[in-house]
Structure formats: C-alpha cells, structure tokens
Structure 1
Amino acid sequence: MRVVGVIGAGAAGLCAARHALASTGLSPVVWEKSSQVGGTWVYTPHTGKDQDGLPIHSSMYQSLKTNLPKEVMGFPDFPFSSDKEESFIHHSDVLKYLKSYTDNFNLNQCIKFRHHVELVSPVVTDDGTTWQVTVQDLDTKTSSTTVCDALLICNGHYSVPRMPQVKDIERYKGKQVHSHDYREPSPYKGLTVVVLGAAASGLDISLELATVAKEVLLSHNFPLPIPSELPPNMRQVQGVVSALDEGFVFADGSSAQADVIMYCTGYEFTFPFLTDECGVTIENNIVKPLYKHVINSTHPSMGFIGIPFQVCPFPTFDFQVRFFLKMLLEVTLPSKQNMDEITERNLNEQCSAGMAVRHFHRLGSQQWQYNDDLANLSGLPYLPRAIMNLYEAVSAHRRREVMFYKQSRYRITGPESFEQIRSGTSWER
C-alpha cells in the first residue's frame, strides 16, 4: 500500500481522505491538530492562542451564515440534506454536514486527531520523491516521523490575517482588529467603525456591526459604489490611505474620525512546516510552482488542495483531489518545464485580460472552465451547469441587494436549471 499523507481534516482534507481511501493501493493518513473534523468551520468564541499555545485556526464568527446557497456548496457525490429549508445556512449546519460526510465514508479511521504537523521534507531518489512528515502528538508532547509516498496539503488559507500597510498607522489611537478575531458585534455598540475591505466578510460584518454601531464606514477601492441599499448608519467611502490620531484619510482626500478600524483584508497563504527543500515559495500572493493550482511541479507527489478562492469550494476540492490522485496513479505528467510553461502562460493570459498578478488564484467566473479542465484530465463528468447558473445568479443578486439576498431560497430542478422558491425582495430570476 502507498501511504498518502493529508495535512488537515477540514473540508479539503476530508475530501482527500475520502477519495484516497476509495482508491486501490492507497492508504491515507490525516493529521489534524484539533480534536474534531471541520477546520475553519469549527467555531470558537476564543481568539489569539488555543489551549496548546497555537494560533486559533478558525475565523468563524458567531452568527455567520453562508454567502452561497447550500444547493451549490456540496461535494458532487454528497449533496446537502434537503431537510433544511433555508438555502443560506448557519456555519453550524456546514459543520454537521462535514461530520456526516466523515461518517458516511468512514473517514475517522484515517484521522489522527490532536496531531500537529511540525516539519515536512522531501526524500528524493531515482524512483521519485517521498515525504518525511514529523508530527507532534499534542496530548503526549512526543514527536514521530512518517514516510509518505504522496502528500496533500490541506491546511486552509483563512487563518493567518493579511494586514495592510497604512501610512502613519502608528499615530492612530483607536482599536485595530482583523476580521479573523471578530466574533460578535456587542463590543462595538455606539462606536464609529471603519471596515476596510468590501469582499464577502467585509460586507457581512459591516451589516452586523450596523445593528449596534453609531456609524459604519465601508472603505474599499472598487471603481464604483456597491449598488445596494445599505442601513442608514452605513456609508461607503474610498480606500484608507493614511491614519490620523483619531481617524483616517481616504483616497479622495476626505477624512473621518473612527473609534475602530476592522481589517477585512483577507489572509496569507502559509505553510510553515515545509522545508526549503520542498521547493515551494509564495511570491506576490502566488503559491509556486503549482501546476493547475494543485501539483508541486518540482516534486509532483505533493499536491495542494483549496488554493483557489472566490469559488464553490467543496466541488472545487473534489475535482482537485481526484485530479491529483489520477495523475499519481495512472497518468504521466508533462515535464516540469512544460508544467511551468503552462502555468506561466495562464498567468500571462489572465494579466492581459486585466487581472492583477496577485489575484492569480482568484478564479471567480473562471472556476467553471478550471473544473472542466480538471474533469477532462481526470476522466470525470462535468459539474452540472445548474451549479454555475445558480452561483452566478446569486453573485449578481448579492451585489444588488446585499441586505436581503440570504432570505432567498432555491432548488435545483435539472442539469442546467434552478428555481427560486422564496425571495426576500421583489427580485426574480
């Protein structure tokens, strides 16, 4: 049996274990530093360090509901239960789903809970690369090393805050918080809060803060204002360019006082356990050298699951895992040179279309072609077009009616079709 190591038992790691376990000749072993499956979906009210002195992994806040309907979120071979009427579900329901997935495919047998990966290093021979994975048992504080024939990195990328450089921020006397440490709105009652960043978390947290804050200033650099009704105590301003003692200056030269700045500025890709010999670097927010955002072209027996963002995550994980295992077991990959040339060509094409280099892993509407490419390479059926159609419809609805879109309910009605069965507004498909 060939041992496939898996780092992390969040959604990506569970998907990796499920398909490795089902593959002839493979034996998966999953290391998970917490005591349960779920990764970022395991809510904790705590921030900072956990009981073992390690950074808190989850960025989940107390009231969070998904910003995608459950009808597009499920793994292709394991849809969400239809028992729940709502389409936009509470984070605890996603955790229940992942636990059900774990039980259904008997994955607990593969998982070593409370095991923290400390070091990964390659062993290169004429037959290829194997991996030495050193792991600490957090209960006994003892370390052991396992040799793996292949390794899947599934440690997530929503845990290490990306902090922007704000000119003169050392002058600012107010409170600075990253959304990673946001849990609930009561500490912000009666305050003026600048929320920097208007992606999914920035919008959701701003709306929640507006229920208790004196004022919320949603600061972003989108070329146009978000065309949605907002609460009366919430307004859009341009991006923060510098700090004052009591507030901030924005890109149009205006300024405002603020008690708090909430950084909804995303997260860093980090793999602190990888030695330099693994050949993986992070440059301008790009994890290199990854073929198809998955395979380490220097050592193709290492794969990364879940690097792309602004996607339907669980279906994308499924395609990535099955692509990696297909390449591992059955298909001869292109040469490293060819893989790197393909990656560079893809990057240049996206940049020519106006994408910033740092957004290479942000797929958005490109995710559908990406999934199709992986399906073609792996001999898999395509994701039903109903998933794409509903995802795109919800994305447009969210932008127009950010306060209300989560009240809508949907149902997939065919391979390419869906219907809206409840709307919180007059919007219709």
Structure 2
Amino acid sequence: MKVVGIIGGGAAGLCAARHVLASSGMMPVVWEKASKVGGTWVYTPQSGKDEHGYPIHSSMYKNMKTNLPKEVMGFPDYPFPSGDNSFIHHTEVQQYLESYMEHYKLNPHIKFGHYVEEVKPVMKIEGPPAWDVTVKSLESKKLSTTTCDALLVCNGHYSVPRIPQIKNIEKFQGRQGHSHDYREPSSYKGCTVVVLGAAASGLDIALELSTVAKEVLLSHNHPTPIPSELPPNVRQVRGVESALENGFVFGDGSSAEADVILYCTGYLFSFPFLSKECGITIEENVVKPLYKHIINTKYPSMAFIGIPFLVCPFPLFDFQVQFFLKTVSGAVALPSKREMDDDIQNDFKDLCSKDLPVRYFHKLAALQWSYNNDLARMGNIPPLPQVIQKLYETVSCMRKSNLMFYKEACFIITGQDSFEHIK
C-alpha cells in the first residue's frame, strides 16, 4: 500500500484525497492546520495571526460572492446543488466542500490541527524518492514524521500577500492594508480610498467600498479603462507611481489626496516547509521546475496542485490530481527529466514571444481549456463538457461589460454544450 501525503485540506487537498482513496493500492494522509476543511473558503473575521500565532490563512471577506457561477465551479464528478442563484456566498462553497468530504468519506484520513514543519526527500537506490513529512500537532506541540511514497502539495496560493514597492511610501500618513486582511467596509466610511489593482478582488472590493467611502480611486495599469459602468464615486486612475504625505501620484502624472491605500495586488507562492533538497525554487513568481505546472521534474513523486491562476479552479485541480496519480501508479509513463525540462523551456519561450512578463508563466486564462484537455488526453481522463468553457466565457464577457450587476444572473446547464440564461 502506497502512502500518499497531502499538504492542505482545502479544495485541492480534498480533491487529492478523494482520488487517492479511489486508486488501487494507495492510502491518503492529509495534514490540515485548521480544525475544518475548506482552506481559503474558511471565513474568519480575524486578520493577522491565529490563536496559535500563525498567519491567518484565509483571504475571504464577509460579503464575498463567487465571481464564477456554481454551474462551472464544481468538481466534474460532484456538481453543486441546484438553487436559485448561480453566484453564491462563500459560506455555500464551504458547505459544498464539507459535503464533498462527507460524500467521499475523507474525514478519517485528515489530521486536523497539524502544521507541516518540514518536507525532505528520502533517496532510494531505484526510482523516485519517498518523502519524510514532519508535522507539529497544534494541541500537543509534539512533532511526528511520516514517510510517504508520493506527495501532493495543496497549501494554496492566496495567503501570503504581495506588497508592491512604492516610491516614498514611508511618507504617506494614511492607512495601508492588503485585501488579504480586508473583511468588511465599515472602517472605510467617509474615506477616500485608493484601491491598487483591478483584478477580481480589486474590482469586487472597490464596489463594496463605494457603498460607504467618500470616493474610491481604482488604480490600475490595464491598457484600457474598465469598460463597465461603475458607481458615481468610483474613479479610475493609472497605477500608483509614488506616495505623498496625504495622497499619491499616479502614472499619468496626476495626483490625489487619499486616506487609505488598499493593496489588491495578489499573492506570493510560498512553501516554507520544503527543504532545499526538494529542489524547488521560486523566481519572479514562477515555481520551478514543474512539468505541466504540476510535477517536480527533479523528483517526480512530488506534485503541486492549483498553481495556475486565472482559471476555473476546482475542475483544473481534478485533472491535475488524476494525471499525477496515473504517473504514480505507472498507468502513465512520464517523459525523461530532460524532456520535461525542455517542455518547460518551450513554454517560457512561448511566453516571451508574446512579450508577456515572466511572472505570468502560471497565468493560464484562455489557455486553461487546452491545458485541461492535454492532461485529459495524456492521462486517459474524461474531458470537461464543452458547456463549461462556453458558460465561463459568457460570464467573463458579462463581468467586463456589467460589473455592477452580473452576479444577479442565473443559469442552468441543459446539455453537454448548452445552457440557458434564466434570469
């Protein structure tokens, strides 16, 4: 019986445990720091440190609803329950993940309240290494080590804030914060707030702040302004160039007074538990060397689930997990290390040929569908029905043109490649 270690009990970790349990000759062990499953979907009003002195993991805010419809969000073999709303509150996603855990009887395999301290490879005479995973029980404070035949790293990447360097920021007398610590808007009442960043969280939080703030300055460097109608007290400005005592100078030379800057500038990949011997590095927000954004080419018994971003996450996790486990079982033979590394380099060359920055390497966006299909083909896994891509792309267009109201829409899937917009 192969022991397969899984770091993290969020959506990716649960998906990993579900498929390990369904694989002949494998047994999962999941380590989860929290007392329940869900990862970033476990809301807490706290920010900063938890009761054990560790940084709060979740970046969930109180009123957050999904920006994807539940009809495309679910794992392929476990759809969300039907209901009146397509865009659902984060508590419903948390309930879905708990239901997934119960349905697949994963609970006995999850060690709650266990913090992973260190991962080291255990070299063998032949074949890929095993892995010594040392964890601390947060209750007893005792350390224990488990040797695993394969390891899936599922610790998420929405918990370590990326804070940009801003010229003269030390002069700014107002408040600074990151969306990771944002929970609800009341403390911004009557303020002029610079929201730096106009990706999903920046747009969502800017809209919520507009209900209480004097003015919201949505600061970004998109090639063109957000095309949607925005609340009357939300104004788009260029990216922040430098700070003043009472405000900021923007990329076009204009300036404005502000009381607060809220960084909606994304997150850093972080794996503090990986020893140097694991051979994983992070450079310019790229985790190296990962074949298909998943498999450690130096030691292919280690996989990372959920690294790509700007994707439909749960289905992507499902393909990644199944593909990796097929390589562990021997059902799929991996290319040589050299061939896998060449594949990575070819992806880098493709990125450079499009004049995109290296930090976008794991950003899939429209490429996610061909990526999923490649994993399905290589792993002999049933592909996603075409309707998932169709509905995802429809909602992407709606979000751009109707940012304030698109979450009021409701959909039902009517076939493998068809859906209805019912409200």
TM-score normalised according to structure 1 size: 0.98
| Letter aligned with residue 176 of structure 1 | Q
Structure 2 matches for 1:167-316, cutoff 5 A? 167-316=167-316
| Letter aligned with residue 118 of structure 1 | E
| Letter aligned with residue 393 of structure 1 | T
| Letter aligned with residue 42 of structure 1 | V
Q: Deviation string for 1:65-106 (max 9, x for gaps)? A: 000000000000000000x21000000000000000000000
In 1, Cα distance between equivalents of 2:5 and 2:382: 26
Structure 2 matches for 1:339-350, cutoff 5 A? 339-350=340-351
> Which SS does the other structure have where 1:413 is aligned?
strand
In 2, Cα distance between equivalents of 1:407 and 1:54: 37
> Which SS does the other structure have where 1:205 is aligned?
helix
In 2, Cα distance between equivalents of 1:354 and 1:206: 30
Deviation at 1:59, TM superposition (A): 0.2
> Which SS does the other structure have where 2:129 is aligned?
strand
In 2, Cα distance between equivalents of 1:412 and 1:25: 36
In 1, Cα distance between equivalents of 2:284 and 2:87: 33
| Letter aligned with residue 422 of structure 2 | I
Structure 2 matches for 1:389-428, cutoff 5 A? 389-422=390-423
Deviation at 1:256, TM superposition (A): 0.3
Deviation at 1:353, TM superposition (A): 2.4
> Which SS does the other structure have where 2:274 is aligned?
coil
Partner of residue 328, structure 1: 328
Deviation at 1:414, TM superposition (A): 1.0
Partner of residue 425, structure 1: none
Q: Deviation string for 1:243-291 (max 9, x for gaps)? A: 0000000000000000000000000000000000000000111000000
In 2, Cα distance between equivalents of 1:124 and 1:345: 29
In 2, Cα distance between equivalents of 1:9 and 1:261: 33
| Letter aligned with residue 20 of structure 1 | V
In 1, Cα distance between equivalents of 2:351 and 2:71: 29
| Letter aligned with residue 391 of structure 1 | Y
Partner of residue 69, structure 1: 69
Deviation at 1:350, TM superposition (A): 2.5
TM-score normalised according to structure 2 size: 0.99
Give the unaligned 5+ runs of structure 1: 423-429
Q: CA RMSD in A?
A: 0.6
Deviation at 1:46, TM superposition (A): 0.2
In 2, Cα distance between equivalents of 1:348 and 1:382: 27
Write out the 4+ residue segments of structure 1 that deviate beyond 3 Å after TM superposition.
none
Deviation at 1:311, TM superposition (A): 0.4
Q: Which region of structure 1 is more displaced relative to structure 2, 345-354 or 98-107?
A: 345-354
Partner of residue 354, structure 2: 353
> Which SS does the other structure have where 1:133 is aligned?
strand
Partner of residue 99, structure 1: 98
Percent sequence identity is 66
| Letter aligned with residue 405 of structure 2 | F
Q: Which region of structure 1 is more displaced relative to structure 2, 355-364 or 301-310?
A: 355-364
In 2, Cα distance between equivalents of 1:311 and 1:199: 13
In 2, Cα distance between equivalents of 1:273 and 1:216: 39
In 2, Cα distance between equivalents of 1:381 and 1:351: 32
Partner of residue 44, structure 2: 44
Deviation at 1:11, TM superposition (A): 0.1
Deviation at 1:355, TM superposition (A): 2.4
In 2, Cα distance between equivalents of 1:410 and 1:236: 31
Partner of residue 383, structure 1: 384
Partner of residue 116, structure 2: 117
| Letter aligned with residue 244 of structure 1 | L
In 1, Cα distance between equivalents of 2:326 and 2:345: 23
In 2, Cα distance between equivalents of 1:104 and 1:367: 28
In 2, Cα distance between equivalents of 1:337 and 1:305: 22
> Which SS does the other structure have where 2:165 is aligned?
coil
Deviation at 1:332, TM superposition (A): 2.1
| Letter aligned with residue 123 of structure 2 | V
| Letter aligned with residue 349 of structure 1 | D
Deviation at 1:331, TM superposition (A): 2.1
